[in-house]
Structure 1
Amino acid sequence: MPESGESARLTAWVRGRVQGVGFRWWTRARALELGLAGWARNTEDGRVEVVAEGPREACVKLLDLLRGCDTPGRVDGVVERWSEPRGSLTGFAER
C-alpha cells in the first residue's frame, strides 16, 4: 500500500448482492464526496469492480465504506489491489 500523503489507485472487487440495488450509484456518490476519480462497473460474475484514484487517505476511506454496513444490497467481501495512479481519470462514472 502506498505511503500516507501520496496519490494512489485502488481497485476493489465487491462481492455479494451488489448488482441491481443502486450500489454503483452509491459508490459514485461516496467517491465524489471524497474527491476521487474513477468508475464502478458490474462484472459478469455478479461482482462490482471499483477503480478510484486520488489521495491515499480518501481511497482508504472509500474502501472502508465499501466494507461497511451502510451500503445498498449486501456486501459479502471486498478484495483490494493498490497500485500507482495513472492520472488519466476524471470524474467518477457508473459503467
Structure 2
Amino acid sequence: MKQYTAKEVEHLLNEGKTLNIIDVREVAEVKAGKIPGVIHIPLGLLEFRMHELNKSQEYLLVCHSGGRSGRAYQFLESHGFNVINMTGGMLAWEGKLE
C-alpha cells in the first residue's frame, strides 16, 4: 500500500503541489473540518461515485484515522485506480482546515 503521512501531505500542499484528495468520512465529520480543496465521497458511496474519477490521475485518500481510507484504497486499487493512503488520517492532520 502506497502511503503518505499527514506531515508529508501538508508539506506537499505547502510547496504548491496539486493533490487529488478524496475524503471518505461521513458528512458530519467533514462539517467539523476538512483539508482545503478535497473531494468528499463517503466510503459507503465510493462504489457508486467512482465513475466520477479518472484512472489516469492519482488520488490521495483520507479519513478520520486511516482505516476507512485503507479500505477505500483497496477497493479503488482493485478497480485500476492509482491511489495513496494518508496514514493517521485527520487525527494526525495539523495543517489548514476549511
- With structure 2 as the length reference, what TM-score do the two structures score? 0.32
More strand by share: 1
More helix by share: 2
- With structure 1 as the length reference, what TM-score do the two structures score? 0.33
